[in-house]
Structure 1
């Protein structure tokens, strides 16, 4: 017993502690925001700061968005990243990933930051790795990454997914040395309650497998020296599946689901900000 305790990494202890505090804080904030939404009959978050309003307007039609090809989306993201690189907006924060990131409602993103959404529907870890260079010239403070569910649906092995994740982290660290890289956990799906068109392929991926993959992803993130944001527990019901009120089809998120995600981003940012202030204060004392 004493041997295993001595070899228990100190980073693992602090990681568990931080995620525990985050979960409790997010649950409280979600409860408060849902009460507000129910009272006012709408979401009451402030309007976010947008890096490229013209691009947002051009892609505001959901029907048109669904008609875009992968390359068309890449071209749009290149344009938006170029604007961000040329304008150097303060507090630039990048959201990168697949359709879950892509459809994040701009009005629900935490305020006080310039958000650059670099999500593409159907994206895989390999696809993301190949297009990270799109926003090389930007100068983000934080980069939030969520990727992997489409790999699983397409039958990609855990080993390949984790290897791609490591390469993504390494690339971002090298290209954006001053940015804080935050790897987000892969979210669960609704299992038998799912109605998504690819339901059969989705059901072939168990949520227990996603949990195990997330554990390995957390370990990799910590070893690579980047942050890990465990959103998974916030979205599950007693059976360990994605809660129905948080999804539209068992895979994609509903407005309520994005409120949960927003809360996770918001509380995480506040915790990190306080931590940075404390570190600076201790540095001055030293």
Structure 2
């Protein structure tokens, strides 16, 4: 059995001898791949409303309730790598570019001055919309996420900022908004979509 980009494949075809949830994940990936392929073709006719750049948290949002949106997010990216996607995002000439960065930096360590410089450069793009990195269920990680979010806000005065209201009284990610303590679930993405539409 081979697992490639979330699709379970075996000698007898997709999903043999696996759980229904594994098959569902594979089906979801295939649907998202189809929609993103369609979105790329649509950009040849008209610019997309939104291009998303981020790590796996944004990748999980797929097309964010609009098949025309382009999602360039990828698993495991740190802020430097996400900022490196800006030129590709700009090439689509979207109405806005939504960036969220910092979760992987918080878990791996970061240089605050370097992050500040990356944000200052990124926020020269006039269409940038910032979504602050959401909390996790880990208190120490959240302390670093808060520091990174402050750097982003301080480095980008005047830019639209989306904050997701998904933490408890201690700032930890609420169970109903996550699938594993770090990555977001459907309720969190629904809130994110609603706040994007409200801009």
Say yes or no: TM over 0.5: yes
Q: Relative contact order (C-alpha < 8 Å, sep 6+): which is higher?
A: 1
Equivalent residue in structure 1 for 2:178, among 247, 257, 266: 247
Determine which structure has the larger helix proportion and give its number.
Answer: 1
Cα distance 1:212–1:130, how it changes in 2: closer, same or farther (>3 A)?
closer
Spell out the pairing of 1:114-129 with structure 2 (5 A cutoff).
114-129=68-83
Equivalents in 2 of 1:265, 1:137: separation in Å?
A: 21
Equivalent residue in structure 1 for 2:129, among 182, 204, 209: 182
List runs of 5+ in structure 2 lacking aligned partners.
Answer: 8-32
Normalising by structure 2, what TM-score?
0.73
Equivalents in 1 of 2:78, 2:44: separation in Å?
A: 28
> Corresponding residue for 2:19?
none
Runs (4 or more) in structure 1 with deviation over 3 Å come to: 79-85
> Corresponding residue for 2:44?
86
Equivalents in 2 of 1:100, 1:150: separation in Å?
A: 10
Equivalents in 2 of 1:257, 1:190: separation in Å?
A: 14
> Corresponding residue for 1:95?
52
Equivalents in 1 of 2:130, 2:183: separation in Å?
A: 19
**Structure with larger Rg:** 1
Equivalent residue in structure 1 for 2:152, among 177, 201, 217: 217
RMSD: 2.7
Normalising by structure 1, what TM-score?
0.52
List runs of 5+ in structure 1 lacking aligned partners.
Answer: 1-62, 68-75, 192-202, 270-286
Equivalent residue in structure 1 for 2:99, among 127, 135, 145: 145
Equivalents in 1 of 2:90, 2:96: separation in Å?
A: 13
TM superposition shift of 1:82: 6.0
TM superposition shift of 1:66: 4.0
